[in-house]
Structure 1
């Protein structure tokens, strides 16, 4: 039976020694989790702000609810398109920088080798060890460019194929968070703005908590940041309605 060809980046690398039985416990960003939670955290902001402003200005609950739905629809479209174009833009930038690095390894190989050495020197490599490491990296052009992209430019290759999916998940989270926020005003309009504000705060706190956990950040801090955005938006809307 034919043996599989060795991986070019793992040739001569021994098997990994035993580690923690549960694996390394680093935060992992699930492809669907982060944009969905981000949308859920952002969704209540515009509807709450507009509902508070309209009710403070003396409009009816029905008119405020209609305004909240309009703000939710506009915000969801803008958020989704913003995420879509951001991912595509990051991919375009990465491709442009990679082409530039490939050109420089052809036009100025000695300078590029020196830059590899300068990076490795910061990590403590010296003398013959440094020289062998530089030659080992520069021996394979793809590996050489990969190294420069990651350690010189601090760029990680984006996934433009995921742009539409990330945008859709963000929109779904955004709409879900906004609809939950407007639910009290729809079911019990006599309660006025406290219902949407209270439920919006709960939604943003929960989404901020989950988003921080997914990113490996302090969960309480993520919840507090999400809530602070909602409070700032509601206060700004209230102030604008008073000044109008």
Structure 2
């Protein structure tokens, strides 16, 4: 019994544990909202840096509100569209499984064959799926169409995540104008804190995604800086004309 117990402990301790990132959709929403929130309000505030702090803050807060609503709504509609598309395709597959079972069975054979299964092996799986129509439809959705069943609450959660991230990101470059009276100093501080926020966010994103954090930080900061610089240059050009 003692040897059996030791073996069980050894098997448990030696068990392979798979670690996968399962927050890809949430991270994508956060990236979308936060990076836009950091760059767009920064460019707007920088473009108005020759005016007064009160005007910069007022315009900045208005832009953050409008941007958060627009991007949040866009995220909601995009996720809702994905859900509606999945439902339409599932109804079509249910109809085909019911009315064209032989054609669907041939498609399953082709899919399994693409994974290297022999005809006899594939035929056994096809016969098993024929007895379970719901599983058959799920199989076709995933392996024929490449569609995963969406989370019912995904649309609302996506919209709120993007809007919240945009608001948080937008406040970062705007805070110096709320705290510093001198416009030139506020612009410099805003530039530094925005770049630091992009650097920190890129690093955290890399850690969460399991990629090279320093490289992720560099990419995020570079892209954000280029976007901010381009928007700032456009704003200055328009203001000068």
TM class by shorter chain equals 0.7 to 0.9
Counterparts of residues 1-244 of structure 1 (less than 5 Å) = 21=15, 23-29=17-23, 35-36=29-30, 38-55=32-49, 58-190=50-182, 191-244=185-238
Provide TM-score, normalisation by structure 1.
0.81
Distance in 1 of aligned mates of 2:120 and 2:154: 43
Instruction: Tell me which protein shows more helix as a share of its residues.
Output: 2
* Higher RCO (CA-CA < 8 Å; seq separation 6+): 1
Q: Determine if contact 1:87/1:159 at 8 Å carries over to the other structure.
A: no
- After superposition, what is the alpha-carbon deviation per residue over 1:59-88, rounded to whole angstroms, capped at 9, x for unaligned? 223322222222211111112111111111
Return closer, same or farther for 1:167/1:118 CA change in 2, 3 Å cut-off: same
Segments of 5+ residues of structure 1 without an aligned counterpart are: 1-16
Q: Determine if contact 1:52/1:234 at 8 Å carries over to the other structure.
A: no
- After superposition, what is the alpha-carbon deviation per residue over 1:170-209, rounded to whole angstroms, capped at 9, x for unaligned? 2222211211221122111421322112211222222233
Return closer, same or farther for 1:172/1:37 CA change in 2, 3 Å cut-off: same
When the two chains are superposed, the root-mean-square deviation of aligned CA atoms in Å is 2.5
Greater mean deviation of Cα atoms: 116-125 or 180-189? 180-189
Distance in 2 of aligned mates of 1:20 and 1:175: 46
Distance in 1 of aligned mates of 2:130 and 2:212: 40
- Aligned residue for 1:207, secondary structure, equals helix
Distance in 2 of aligned mates of 1:32 and 1:127: 41
Return closer, same or farther for 1:127/1:193 CA change in 2, 3 Å cut-off: same
Return closer, same or farther for 1:108/1:220 CA change in 2, 3 Å cut-off: farther
Equivalenced residues, count:
226
Distance in 2 of aligned mates of 1:137 and 1:152: 14
Provide TM-score, normalisation by structure 2.
0.82
Return closer, same or farther for 1:163/1:241 CA change in 2, 3 Å cut-off: closer
Return closer, same or farther for 1:239/1:36 CA change in 2, 3 Å cut-off: closer
